[in-house]
């Protein structure tokens, strides 16, 4: 399968260095988990549990991984601690592989619709606007014509923030003034993109906590208005999650999916934090694929997510 | 707030119900659940472990006390331990100094700018201070603009230098400016940074050295996972901050970060952010938070918030009107506005003991009033003052004007009538007490 190696060498290096902190931590913890042990026993499993939980993998997923390893220990009778890393990697990949995920395309790949409309949603401060700036850059680099819609009309200076990204990347930003109806901005953006023959449209929305029913309804409305301009839009509803978020990430994924039928996830700020475990947990419990991961401040630090590469980088 | 943790604990305690005393066996199962609940709430792994061990020791020690039911005893022990874990009494911020300098720090997206605005607003309105906000985030696009908009919203001046790329210069110049303009508090908003970003951490340490802040606050997203502890630790090592601000607490479930940061870094949590409005700032009260975690509600906060919005003069007038049976739709509207000012309805309701869980999935917020407001706004001034004048023809006009249906208008009128009756009744009962 070709897509397994679409990561260029350069990209792999970014992934490795971006995740170095995450990797050190998970790896260190694992090493400590088995230190002075020759075989996998109760204590090793306890330590393993700690290593996984403190990486935000989540209690449910951790227990599932431990159970699987226990089963293997029972089946194979004796497991050397040296084998543990291999088994763990194996089990994690399996957890990830159990989800039917859409194949992550290259930014340059042909898109299924024109314009291909992406609506970006998420709670406050996860990095939606920054992610959009980076996405716009990547698509533009790949030769696509991108239009951005500043439908976060609520937060102070959110429109200016997206406009600056538009200038940097050199793509038009459709906007109204602060306090305007976000659905109307989304409508304008799609109209304009259609007229100007754009390839990709990305709509920014205001951050909102997923337990605010009325704000979630607003998203549904924006969604509905968009489908009036271009049928079947948005083609992609991208939920942005902060990589340092704990177990609440699951509730976010659940509630946003309920309101807007989330089709893909972007996990940001995976550099520098000791996390990354949340990616495993979410892939396990959520049937929505992780599509992008953010590994740093640079424009090219937003990458398409590849499970195998990710686990390789994570566990060394 | 913290629904799932309190739900979990409630379920855990049910296991203990009906059992005569706390034994090693029945406590083990409960504590396993408690620990899992804490981990699910993002309490740090080690903190959760220590916590459950402590609770176990205390619970077994009280083995002989048969005066209360074991589950009640466990609730008490867990509650006391939680409160202790989150620290003692509330610690105020240090705003002595002229000007007092407050430095904000934290990760990207934790809510520093919004909180800076809320803090400035609070100091201005409740402490009679003259704050100056300082925009030192020279990196993120439009960050300066964001603080300016926030400043304009709350009527607090914002110092910024659009051409400068040096946060240290900006901070120092801002303090000079504050002295000149007579601002007694300077709040420095900084760029978000990762604890592992050496260069950026050096920068904020340099800002600290240059302005010697009276108060350094570490702002952290309450949804943060296990890493909250490490981040707090690293920021603390570099800045030795004075207090923690926990933001976005108006979301659901989490709160574990609050428990662990307090216990690992040993710095008090001084404020919490509970909404997007500039008034949505609260002091942190460990004991109350423990109540909340255990689903005991937070009636004290509710009363305090009501008192803040309570205007005695207005209330006296209203009381007279009720006595004379003159309570009309204008007064009703005024009441709605007052409730809205107190903040998010669901927030308020969840502070009432036992209600939090019940309304978890209920759609309740400011917009719940929209229909009522639309109807009242479609009334003429005459109708608002004379609710009895509303005949069918008038009602039909209101239906057209407000876009609500006739049933809804009738329902409101009926509720209004009942409310009038109730108010008179309550007042009659209360009057003797007031005279005494």
**Contact assessment for residue B101 and residue B213, using Cβ atoms and an 8 Å cutoff:** yes
Q: Best interface-test mutation with A: which of B200, B226, B235, B364 has the largest number of A CBs within 10 A? A: B226
Lowest pLDDT segment from A79-88, B182-191, B412-421: A79-88
Residue of B nearest to A270 (CA): B194
**Cross-chain Cβ contact A251/B252 below 8 Å:** yes
Between A208 and A95, the more confident residue is A208
> Chain-centre distance of CA A113, in angstroms?
22
Q: In the predicted model, is pLDDT for residue B313 greater than 90?
A: no
Give A236's strand partners. A118
- CA angle, A126 then A180 then A169, to 5°: 50
**DSSP assignment of A211-260:** T-HHHHHHHHHHHHHHHHHSTT--SEEEEEEETTB-THHHHHHHHHHHHH
**Contact assessment for residue B158 and residue B135, using Cβ atoms and an 8 Å cutoff:** yes
Give A181's strand partners. none
Name the strand (E) or helix (H) holding A93.
helix A81-97
Contacts of A278 in chain B (CB under 8 A): 225
**Contact assessment for residue B374 and residue B404, using Cβ atoms and an 8 Å cutoff:** yes
Whether A131 and chain B come into contact, CB under 8 Å, resolves to no
Whether B149 and chain A come into contact, CB under 8 Å, resolves to yes
DSSP assignment, residue A291?
Answer: E
Tell me, what's the ipTM? Answer: 0.83
Mean of pLDDT values over B246-264: 80
Residue A315 has a pLDDT of 63
Between B250 and B5, the more confident residue is B250
Tokens 């439009």 — which residue?
Answer: B142
The top-scoring range by mean pLDDT among A38-52, B103-117, B364-378 is B103-117
Q: In the predicted model, is pLDDT for residue B30 greater than 90?
A: no
What is the spatial distance between Cα A297 and Cα A19, in angstroms, rounded to a whole number? 13
**Contact assessment for residue B419 and residue B372, using Cβ atoms and an 8 Å cutoff:** no
Q: In the predicted model, is pLDDT for residue B16 greater than 80?
A: no
> Chain-centre distance of CA B419, in angstroms?
30
Residue B343 has a pLDDT of 60
What is the spatial distance between Cα B65 and Cα B60, in angstroms, rounded to a whole number? 10
Q: Is B103 strand, coil or helix?
A: strand
Q: Is B104 strand, coil or helix?
A: strand
Contacts of A244 in chain B (CB under 8 A): 107, 221, 224-225, 227-228, 231
Residue of B nearest to A157 (CA): B146
Band of the pLDDT at A9, cuts 50, 70, 90?
Answer: very low
How close B238 comes to chain A (CA, Å)? 16
Whether A28 and chain B come into contact, CB under 8 Å, resolves to no
Q: In the predicted model, is pLDDT for residue B222 greater than 70?
A: yes
Residue of B nearest to A50 (CA): B45
Contacts of B148 in chain A (CB under 8 A): 156-157
Band of the pLDDT at B168, cuts 50, 70, 90?
Answer: very high
Of B141, B150, B226, the CB nearest to A161: B141
Residue of B nearest to A154 (CA): B276
What is the spatial distance between Cα A290 and Cα A301, in angstroms, rounded to a whole number? 16
Band of the pLDDT at A31, cuts 50, 70, 90?
Answer: low
What is the spatial distance between Cα B402 and Cα B391, in angstroms, rounded to a whole number? 16
Q: In the predicted model, is pLDDT for residue B295 greater than 60?
A: no
Residue of B nearest to A49 (CA): B45
- Phi then psi for residue A176, to 5 deg, are -125, -170
Of B108, B109, B254, the CB nearest to A248: B254
Residue B323 has a pLDDT of 73
What is the spatial distance between Cα A240 and Cα B109, in angstroms, rounded to a whole number? 12
> Which two tokens mark A226?
């968009």
What is the spatial distance between Cα B38 and Cα B162, in angstroms, rounded to a whole number? 45
Contacts A–B by Cβ distance under 8 A:
142
**Cross-chain Cβ contact A53/B226 below 8 Å:** yes
Whether A213 and chain B come into contact, CB under 8 Å, resolves to yes
pLDDT in tens, B377-429: 899 999 998 888 889 999 999 999 988 889 888 988 888 888 777 777 766 65
Band of the pLDDT at B48, cuts 50, 70, 90?
Answer: confident
What is the spatial distance between Cα A22 and Cα A52, in angstroms, rounded to a whole number? 12
Residue A266 has a pLDDT of 92
Contacts of B41 in chain A (CB under 8 A): 247
Walk me through the domains of chain B, giving residue ranges and CATH numbers: 3-85 (1.20.120.140), 100-294 (3.40.50.300), 304-428 (1.10.260.30)
CB-side neighbour CA atoms (13 Å) of B406:
8
Between B388 and A182, the more confident residue is A182
Of B109, B143, B226, the CB nearest to A54: B226
Lowest pLDDT segment from A82-91, A119-128, B202-211, B425-434: B425-434
Pairing of strands B281-283, B269-273: antiparallel
Contacts of B39 in chain A (CB under 8 A): 53, 59
pLDDT in tens, A183-231: 999 999 999 999 999 999 999 999 999 888 888 989 999 999 999 888 8
Lowest pLDDT segment from B11-20, B31-40, B198-207, B246-255: B11-20
Residue B65 has a pLDDT of 46
Show which of residues 210-269 on chain B sit within 8 Å of chain A, judged by CB atoms: 221, 223-228, 230-231, 248, 250-254, 256-257
Q: In the predicted model, is pLDDT for residue B180 greater than 90?
A: yes
Residue B306 has a pLDDT of 58
Band of the pLDDT at B307, cuts 50, 70, 90?
Answer: low
> Chain-centre distance of CA A314, in angstroms?
16
Residue A276 has a pLDDT of 65
**Contact assessment for residue B132 and residue B147, using Cβ atoms and an 8 Å cutoff:** no
Contacts of A50 in chain B (CB under 8 A): 45
What is the spatial distance between Cα B43 and Cα B12, in angstroms, rounded to a whole number? 17
Q: In the predicted model, is pLDDT for residue B260 greater than 80?
A: yes
Biggest CA–CA distance in chain B, Å, is 73
Residue B250 has a pLDDT of 81
Of A125, A248, A275, the CB nearest to B227: A275
Q: Is B291 strand, coil or helix?
A: helix
Whether A175 and chain B come into contact, CB under 8 Å, resolves to no
Between B347 and B319, the more confident residue is B319
**Cross-chain Cβ contact A59/B142 below 8 Å:** no
Whether A93 and chain B come into contact, CB under 8 Å, resolves to no
What does pTM read for this prediction? 0.75
Between A135 and B308, the more confident residue is A135
Rg (CA), chain B: 26
Lowest pLDDT segment from A166-180, B30-44, B98-112, B397-411: B30-44
Band of the pLDDT at B186, cuts 50, 70, 90?
Answer: very high
> Which two tokens mark A120?
């970006």
Q: In the predicted model, is pLDDT for residue A247 greater than 80?
A: yes
Contacts of B40 in chain A (CB under 8 A): 58-59, 247
**Cross-chain Cβ contact B108/A127 below 8 Å:** yes
Lowest pLDDT segment from A74-88, A178-192, B81-95: A74-88
**Cross-chain Cβ contact B224/A246 below 8 Å:** yes
Residue B79 has a pLDDT of 74
> Which two tokens mark B201?
């951490």
**Cross-chain Cβ contact A55/B226 below 8 Å:** yes
How close A246 comes to chain B (CA, Å)? 3
Give B392's strand partners. none
**Cross-chain Cβ contact A157/B148 below 8 Å:** yes
Mean of pLDDT values over B5-21: 57
Contacts of B111 in chain A (CB under 8 A): 124-125
Q: In the predicted model, is pLDDT for residue A144 greater than 60?
A: yes
Residues in Cβ contact with A116 at an 8 Å cutoff, skipping those fewer than 6 apart: A199, A200, A201, A235, A236
How close A142 comes to chain B (CA, Å)? 24
The mean of the pLDDT values for chain B is: 80
**Contact assessment for residue A47 and residue A32, using Cβ atoms and an 8 Å cutoff:** yes
Whether A114 and chain B come into contact, CB under 8 Å, resolves to no
Between A100 and B124, the more confident residue is B124
Band of the pLDDT at A6, cuts 50, 70, 90?
Answer: very low
Between B240 and B7, the more confident residue is B240
Whether A167 and chain B come into contact, CB under 8 Å, resolves to no
Buried b (16+ CB within 10 A) or exposed e, B287-305: bbbbbbbbbbbbeebbeeb
Q: Is B273 strand, coil or helix?
A: strand
**Contact assessment for residue B124 and residue B187, using Cβ atoms and an 8 Å cutoff:** no
Residue B170 has a pLDDT of 96
CB atoms near residue A68 (< 10 Å): 17
> Which two tokens mark B277?
């409005």
Tokens 């009962």 — which residue?
Answer: B429
Q: Among residues A241, A177, A286, A201, which one has the least CA distance to residue B224?
A: A241
- CA angle, B237 then B238 then B239, to 5°: 100
Q: In the predicted model, is pLDDT for residue B1 greater than 80?
A: no
Residue B110 has a pLDDT of 93
Contacts of A56 in chain B (CB under 8 A): 42, 225-227
Whether A29 and chain B come into contact, CB under 8 Å, resolves to no
């Amino acid at each position: 399968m070709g897509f397994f190696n679409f990561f260029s060498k350069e990209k792999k290096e970014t992934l490795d260095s971006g995740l170095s902190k995450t990797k050190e931590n998970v790896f260190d913890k694992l090493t400590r988990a088995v230190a002075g042990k020759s075989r996998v026993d109760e204590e090793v499993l306890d330590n393993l549990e700690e290593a996984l939980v403190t990486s935000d993998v989540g209690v449910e997923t951790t227990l599932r991984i431990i159970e699987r390893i226990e089963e293997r220990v029972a089946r194979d009778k004796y497991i050397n601690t040296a084998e543990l890393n291999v088994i763990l990697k194996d089990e994690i990949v399996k957890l990830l592989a159990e989800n039917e995920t859409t194949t992550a395309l290259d930014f340059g790949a042909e898109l299924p619709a024109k314009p291909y409309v992406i609506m970006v949603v998420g709670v406050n401060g996860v990095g939606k606007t920054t992610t959009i700036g980076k996405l716009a850059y990547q698509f533009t680099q790949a030769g696509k014509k991108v239009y951005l819609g500043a439908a976060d009309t609520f937060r102070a200076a959110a429109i200016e923030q997206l406009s600056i990204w538009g200038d940097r990347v050199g793509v038009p930003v459709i906007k109204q003034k602060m306090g305007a109806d976000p659905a109307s901005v989304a409508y304008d953006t799609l109209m304009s993109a259609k007229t100007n023959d754009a390839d990709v449209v990305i709509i920014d929305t205001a951050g909102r906590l997923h337990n605010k029913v009325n704000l979630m309804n607003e998203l549904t409305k924006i969604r509905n208005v968009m489908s009036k301009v271009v049928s079947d839009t948005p083609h992609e509803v991208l939920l942005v999650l902060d990589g340092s978020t704990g177990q609440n990430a699951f509730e976010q994924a659940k509630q946003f999916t309920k309101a807007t039928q989330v089709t893909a996830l972007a996990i940001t700020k995976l550099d520098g934090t000791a996390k990354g475990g949340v990616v495993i947990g979410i892939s396990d419990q959520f049937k929505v694929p992780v599509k992008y991961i953010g590994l740093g401040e640079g424009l090219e630090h937003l990458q398409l997510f590849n499970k195998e590469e990710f686990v390789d980088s994570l566990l060394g | 707030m913290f629904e799932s943790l309190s739900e979990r604990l409630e379920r855990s305690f049910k296991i203990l119900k009906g059992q005569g005393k706390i034994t090693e066996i029945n406590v083990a199962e409960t504590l396993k659940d408690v620990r899992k609940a804490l981990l699910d709430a993002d309490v740090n792994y080690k903190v959760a472990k220590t916590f459950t061990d402590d609770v176990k020791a205390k619970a077994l020690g009280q083995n002989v006390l048969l005066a209360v039911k074991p589950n009640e005893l466990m609730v008490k022990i867990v509650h006391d331990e939680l409160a202790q874990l989150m620290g003692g009494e509330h610690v105020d911020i240090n705003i002595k100094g002229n000007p007092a300098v407050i430095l904000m720090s934290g990760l990207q997206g934790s809510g520093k700018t919004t909180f800076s605005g809320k803090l400035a607003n609070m100091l201005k309105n409740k402490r009679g201070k003259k704050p100056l906000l300082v925009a030192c985030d020279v990196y993120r696009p439009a960050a300066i603009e964001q603080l300016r908009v926030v400043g304009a919203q709350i009527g607090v001046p914002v110092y910024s230098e659009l051409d400068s790329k040096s946060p240290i210069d900006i901070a120092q110049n801002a303090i000079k400016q504050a002295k000149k303009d007579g601002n007694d508090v300077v709040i420095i908003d900084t760029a978000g940074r990762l604890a592992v970003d050496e260069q950026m951490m050096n920068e904020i340490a340099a800002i600290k050295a240059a302005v010697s802040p009276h108060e350094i606050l570490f702002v952290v997203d309450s949804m943060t996972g296990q890493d909250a502890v490490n981040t707090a630790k690293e920021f603390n090592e570099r800045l030795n901050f004075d207090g923690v601000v926990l933001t976005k607490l108006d979301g659901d479930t989490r709160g574990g970060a609050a428990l662990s940061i307090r216990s690992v870094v040993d710095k008090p949590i001084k404020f919490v952010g509970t909404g997007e409005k500039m008034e949505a700032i609260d002091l942190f009260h460990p004991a109350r938070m423990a109540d909340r975690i255990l689903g005991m509600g937070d009636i004290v906060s509710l009363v305090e918030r009501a008192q803040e919005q309570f205007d005695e003069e207005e209330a006296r007038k209203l009381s007279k009107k009720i006595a004379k049976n003159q309570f009309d739709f204008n007064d009703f509207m005024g009441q709605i506005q007052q409730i809205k000012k107190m903040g998010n309805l669901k927030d308020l309701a969840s502070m009432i003991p036992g209600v939090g869980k019940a309304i978890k999935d209920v759609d309740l917020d400011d917009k719940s009033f929209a229909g009522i407001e639309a109807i009242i706004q479609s009334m003429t001034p005459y109708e608002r003052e004379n609710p009895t004048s509303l005949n069918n023809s008038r009602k039909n006009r209101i239906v057209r004007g407000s876009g609500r249906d006739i049933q809804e208008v009738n329902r409101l009128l009926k509720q209004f009538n009942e409310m009038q009756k109730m108010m008179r009744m309550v007042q009659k009962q209360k009057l003797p007490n007031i005279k005494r």
